[in-house]
Chains A and B, each alone.
Chain A
Amino acid sequence: MAETQTAATPEQDERIREMSAFRKALIRPELGAICGAILVFVFFIAIAGDSGMFAPEGIINWGTVSAQFAIIAVGACLLMIAGEFDLSVGSMIGFSGIIIALLTVHWGLPAWFSILTAFALTLTIGALNGYLVIRTGLPSFIVTLASLYILRGLTIFISITTTRKTIIGGVREAAEGDPIAWLFGGKVFSGLFVWLADMGVVGKFVAGPRAGQPVVEGIPMLMVWALALIVFGHFLLTRTRFGNWIFASGGDAQAARYVGVPVNRVKILMFMFSAFCATIFATCQVMEFGSAAADRGLLKEFEAIISVVIGGALLTGGYGSVVGAALGALIFGVVQQGLFFAGVESSLFRVFLGVILLLAVILNTFIRRMITGER
Chain B
Amino acid sequence: MSAPLIELVDIEKHFGPVIALNGVSVSVNAGECHCLLGDNGAGKSTFIKTMSGVHKPTRGKILVEGREVDFDSPRDAMQAGIATVYQDLAMIPLMSVTRNFWMGREPQKRVGPFKFFDFAKANEVTLTEMAKMGIRLRSPDQAVGTLSGGERQTVAISRAVFFGAKVLILDEPTSALGVRQTSNVLATIDKVRKNGIGVVFITHNVRHAMAVGDRFTVLNRGKTLGTAKRGDIKAEELQDLMAGGQDLAQLEGSLGGTV
Chain A residues with CB under 8 Å of chain B are 1, 4-5, 8, 10, 12-13, 15-16, 18-19, 27, 235, 239-241, 243-245, 247-248, 251-252, 254-256, 258-261, 314, 318-319, 368, 371-374
Q: Which of B117, B180, B184 contacts A241 (CB 8 A)?
A: B117
Chain B residues with CB under 8 Å of chain A are 74-75, 78, 84, 86, 89-95, 99, 102-106, 108, 114-117, 119, 134-138, 143, 145-146, 148, 178, 180, 184
Known: A8-B180, A241-B117, A247-B99. A255 touches B74 (CB 8 A): no
**Of B84, B86, B95, B105, which is in contact with the most chain A CB atoms at under 10 Å from its CB?**
B95
B75 touches A371 (CB 8 A): no
Q: List 16 A-B contacts (CB under 8 A).
A: A12-B136, A18-B138, A27-B143, A240-B117, A247-B92, A247-B99, A251-B95, A258-B86, A259-B104, A259-B105, A260-B105, A319-B94, A368-B94, A372-B93, A372-B94, A374-B145
Distance from A321 Cβ to chain B, minimum over Cβ atoms (Å): 12
Q: Which of B102, B135, B138, B148 contacts A19 (CB 8 A)?
A: B138
Q: Which residue of A lies closest to B163 (CB)?
A: A259
Q: How far is the CA of A239 from the CA of B86 in the complex (A)?
A: 28
Q: Which residue of A lies closest to B184 (CB)?
A: A12
Q: How far is the CA of A241 from the CA of B99 in the complex (A)?
A: 9
Q: How far is the CA of A13 from the CA of B130 in the complex (A)?
A: 13
Cβ contacts under 8 Å, A259 to chain B? 103-105
Q: How far is the CA of A371 from the CA of B95 in the complex (A)?
A: 9
B148 touches A5 (CB 8 A): yes
B138 touches A244 (CB 8 A): no
Cβ contacts under 8 Å, B108 to chain A? 240-241
A-B contacts counted at CB < 8 A amount to 95
Cβ contacts under 8 Å, B136 to chain A? 12-13, 16
With A12-B136, A372-B146 known, 10 other A-B pairs at CB within 8 A are A4-B146, A239-B117, A240-B117, A251-B92, A251-B93, A252-B89, A252-B92, A258-B74, A260-B78, A371-B145
Q: How far is the CA of A50 from the CA of B78 in the complex (A)?
A: 66
Known: A1-B146, A12-B135, A19-B138. A318 touches B94 (CB 8 A): yes
List 4 tightest A-B contacts by C-beta distance, closest first: A372-B145, A251-B92, A259-B104, A241-B106
Known: A260-B75, A318-B94. A244 touches B178 (CB 8 A): no
Known: A16-B136, A256-B104. A10 touches B180 (CB 8 A): yes
Q: How far is the CA of A371 from the CA of B93 in the complex (A)?
A: 8
Q: How far is the CA of A252 from the CA of B143 in the complex (A)?
A: 14
A244 touches B106 (CB 8 A): yes
Q: How far is the CA of A371 from the CA of B143 in the complex (A)?
A: 7
A255 touches B138 (CB 8 A): no
Cβ contacts under 8 Å, B105 to chain A? 259-260
Q: How far is the CA of A214 from the CA of B93 in the complex (A)?
A: 53
Cβ contacts under 8 Å, B84 to chain A? 258
Distance from A120 Cβ to chain B, minimum over Cβ atoms (Å): 25
Cβ contacts under 8 Å, B103 to chain A? 244, 248, 256, 259, 261
Q: Which of B91, B137, B146 contacts A371 (CB 8 A)?
A: B146
Q: How far is the CA of A92 from the CA of B213 in the complex (A)?
A: 60
Known: A16-B136, A16-B138. A255 touches B104 (CB 8 A): no
Q: Which of B89, B94, B117, B135 contacts A244 (CB 8 A)?
A: B117
**Of B94, B102, B114, which is in contact with the most chain A CB atoms at under 10 Å from its CB?**
B94
Q: How far is the CA of A13 from the CA of B134 in the complex (A)?
A: 9
Cβ contacts under 8 Å, A239 to chain B? 116-117, 119
Q: How far is the CA of A4 from the CA of B91 in the complex (A)?
A: 20
Q: Which of B86, B115, B138 contacts A240 (CB 8 A)?
A: B115
Cβ contacts under 8 Å, B94 to chain A? 247, 251, 314, 318-319, 368, 371-372
